[in-house]
Structure 1
Amino acid sequence: MTPPKDIQLIGNELALLWEDGSETYILAPVLRAASPSAETAGERDILGVLHGGEHGKDYSQVRIESWQFVGNYAIRFKFSDGHATGLYSYELLKRLGDQ
């Protein structure tokens, strides 16, 4: 998947314009809660048991402060709560906008 053609922050909502002309909109708290980082999502051990994570945490006041492209496959966002370790693939961003 190709990177977004344009990214803008509209209030507390992330807007992405894709090469095919489609648009994706994701509220900052939704984006933060969906972070694929081990800090947020937790990690599974070899037996499949989930360890850690921040399930059920309230992100309603979190805002997006900045972002940077990582390679040609993902974006790293920095949030107002200090979180900046999740790498959001373009596919994940597209899926979050479809929900």
Structure 2
Amino acid sequence: MKTPQNIQLIGPEVAIVWNDGTESYFTGPELRAASPSAETRGEKDIFGNQYGGGEQKSFANVQVLSFERVGNYALRFDFSDGHRTGLYGYELLAELAARHR
């Protein structure tokens, strides 16, 4: 599994150097739109009813203010719109990075 070796905020982007030597760059709007949180994606109850999420919003001016590692599997970003509940697993970040290629 790819894991971040170095993570930095560089201007409006989050830069990640992975353990295989590749580099990825993400913008705040891109990361905010991809948030895996229940607030953004919604969640289902045991009957399959969807609650929350679903409505796509514009995150054009959202910036990443800071980040922190969560265990050995994810990053949590603090966004300028106050969002901070999504845990971005390394696998999700690697998938987002692959879309740039």
Work out whether the TM-score is over 0.5. Answer: yes
* Distance (whole Å) between structure 2 residues aligned to residue 49 and residue 23 of structure 1: 39
Root-mean-square deviation (Å): 1.4
**1:57-72 aligned within 5 A:** 57-72=57-72
Q: Give the AA of the match of 1:13.
A: E
Which amino acid in 2 is paired with 1:20? D
Shift of 1:47: 3.3
TM-score by length of 2: 0.89
Give the C-alpha shift of residue 3 in structure 1. Answer: 3.2
Deviation string for 1:12-61 (max 9, x for gaps)?
22111001101122221010011111011110222333210163111010
Identical amino acids, percent of aligned pairs: 57
Structure 1 residues not aligned, in runs of 5+: none
Superimposed CA distance per residue, residues 70-93 of structure 1 (whole angstroms, 9 cap, x where no aligned partner) = 010001100000111110000001
Contact 1:15 1:23 in 2 (8 A): yes
With the length of structure 1 as denominator, give the TM-score of the two structures.
Answer: 0.90
Runs of 4+ aligned residues of structure 1 deviating over 3 Å after TM superposition are none
User: Which range is displaced more, 24-33 or 85-94?
Assistant: 24-33
2:97 pairs with 1:97: yes
Task: Work out the CA distance in 2 between the residues paired with 1:75 and 1:3.
Answer: 11
Q: Alignment length, in residue pairs?
A: 99
